[in-house]
Chains A and B, each alone.
Chain A
Amino acid sequence: MDQEDFRALIQIVEQELRDVGLSEIADNAHYLIANSETGDVRLLEPETHLIEMLDAFDNAMAIRDHVTYEKAMANLNQVTEGEGPQSVVYIPASDEDDVNEIDFSNAPNLSEIREELRAFISRRNEPDPGSGMTP
C-alpha cells in the first residue's frame, strides 16, 4: 500500500473511532510532529499516523478487556500473603442508597479482537497475493 492508501485508511479508522465513542483517539492533535530546527508542526506521515491511531485503539481495548481483570487478579493473589480479594466491584454514583455494585469479572473479552488488530498491523505491508506485485 502507498501513502494514499494509508490516508484513505486513516479516514475510515477516524470514522469508526467516532462511531464507537472513541473520537478522542481520532483527534489530529495527537499525531503532530515538530521540526526541531524550524519549530514547524505537521502531521505524521500517513503510515505512522495510522499505526499510532490503531495502537491507541488497542490501548482503549486493553483498559476494558476481561483479560486485564484476570491479569490483575493473578497479580494480587501472587503478591498478597494469605487471601487476596475474592472479587472486585465498582460502585457507581447514585442518588439512591441502594446501588447495584458492578462486578469487574463481567468485563467483555476483547483479547481476540486485540490479536486481530495486532495481526493487521504486522500484515499491512505484506505483498498482495492477488496482484503479484510488491506492497
Chain B
Amino acid sequence: MNRSKAIQDIQNIFARYRAAMVGDKAWLLALSDGKLYELFVLSEVLKKLRTRGFQISFVGTVLKFKAGPGMLKLCDPHFELHHPATSTVDWRVFVDIEFITLGSTHTAAKDSSRCHEIDIVVTNATNGYPNYDEIALGVECKSTPKFKKALLKEALGLRRELSYLHGPRPSILSQAGVKSTLVNANPPSEYWLVNPDAKVLNYRQSPATFSIELLHIKP
C-alpha cells in the first residue's frame, strides 16, 4: 500500500461513517452518551452472574434507559437474581440508579453530594434511593474510546462512598452464589469499571487494593 492509496481508503471509511450517522439528534446523543454500550455491558454482567449460579428473570416487557439517573422503583423494568439454592429473589438488577453515599450517612448531608449514580446496580433495595450498604455490585460503564486516568480517579472516589477498606472477605454476592469472590471492602460489595479500550487493563493493580475491578469489554 502506498500513501495516496492509504489516504483514499481512510477518507472512504470516514465518508461512509458520516453517511451512516445521519439521524435523530436525540438518538445520536444517546449513542454518544454510551447508552448502547451500557446495554451491552449489562448483558455481559448478567452472563457473568449466571456463571456464578444465579438464575435470572426479567420483570417487564421493555427495558428502559434514562438520560438522567434516579431512584429505584419496583414497577420499573429490571432483572431478578434467584438464589442458586433456594430460588428466592434476594437481589435485583437496575440501571441508572443513584445511591445514598457512605459519607452522607455520617454527616446527614442533604446537598448534591448525598447521592451518586451507578450505571448498573445489583441491590436488595426495593424502593427509593438504595443505601450504600444495599449495593452488592456496582458497574460503571465508561464508553470513552480511549481509556484515561481520570476515569479511574472517578471510580476511586465512588468506591470510597460505597465501602471502607477492610481485610479480604467473601463478597455479598459470593455469599449467595456458587463462585467465591473475595473483596477488601466493608460492606463487601463488588465494584467494576468497564471500558472498550484494552488499555484499561494497564490500570488494574493499584485499584485492586480497594476491590475495584477493571474490565475490558468491547462489543
Contacts and interface: CB of A to CB of B under 8 A. Distances in A.
Contacts of B46: 75-76, 79-80
B17 A113 contact: yes
A71 to B, nearest CB: 6
Contact of A59 (B17, B24, B44, B145): B145
B43 A71 contact: yes
A72 interface: yes
Q: How large is the interface on B (under 10, 10 to 19, 20 to 34, 35 or more residues)?
A: 35 or more
Contacts of B37: 62-63, 68
Given A63-B34, A80-B57, A71 B10 contact: no
Contacts of A85: 58, 60-63, 77
A89 interface: yes
Interface of A: 1, 5, 8-9, 12-13, 16, 19-22, 24-25, 27, 29-30, 55-57, 59-65, 67-69, 71-73, 75-76, 78-93, 100-102, 104, 106-110, 112-113, 116-117, 120, 123-126, 128, 130-131, 135
Interface of B: 1-3, 5-7, 9-14, 16-18, 20-21, 23-24, 26-27, 29-32, 34-37, 39-40, 42-44, 46-47, 49-50, 55-58, 60-68, 77, 79, 82, 143-146, 148, 196-197, 218-219
